């Protein structure tokens, strides 16, 4: 393989590996309380790790809801069990 092609391929791979991949972040949170049985799954979103705010992202049926983080919100901690 041509050395110039190898260098070009290497640079292209490096650029793709270091590119900022957009995340699907919560921009605001809802304080609407949910019954625990409605939550199918959840994940924690941390501020500064690709997102601007900390949040708890819960999956409810076919929707994702953004709730406040569990720290400082006992009802969210209770909801997550």
So where are the chain's domains? 24-80
**Report field, pTM of the whole predicted structure over 0.75:** no
> Which range, of 8-12, 15-19, 23-27, 66-70, averages the lowest pLDDT?
15-19
pLDDT at residue 34 greater than cutoff 80: yes
**What is the band of 38 on the pLDDT scale with cuts at 50, 70, 90?**
very high
d(CA 67, CA 2): 54
Query: Do residues 81 and 42 make contact, with C-beta atoms less than 8 angstroms apart?
Result: no
Neighbours of 50 (CB within 10 A): 13
- Name the percent of the chain in helix, strand, coil, to the closest 5: 30, 20, 45
d(CA 61, CA 2): 53
d(CA 23, CA 36): 26
- SS3 at position 60: strand
Tell me the fold of 24-80: OB fold (Dihydrolipoamide Acetyltransferase, E2P) (2.40.50)
């Amino acid at each position: 393989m041509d050395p110039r092609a190898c260098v070009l391929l290497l640079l292209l791979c490096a650029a793709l590996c270091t590119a900022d991949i957009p995340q699907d972040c919560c921009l605001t949170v809802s304080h609407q309380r949910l019954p625990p049985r409605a939550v199918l799954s959840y994940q924690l979103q941390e501020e500064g790790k690709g997102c601007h705010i900390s949040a708890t992202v819960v999956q409810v049926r076919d929707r994702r809801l953004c709730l406040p983080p569990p720290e400082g919100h006992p009802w969210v901690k209770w909801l997550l069990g």
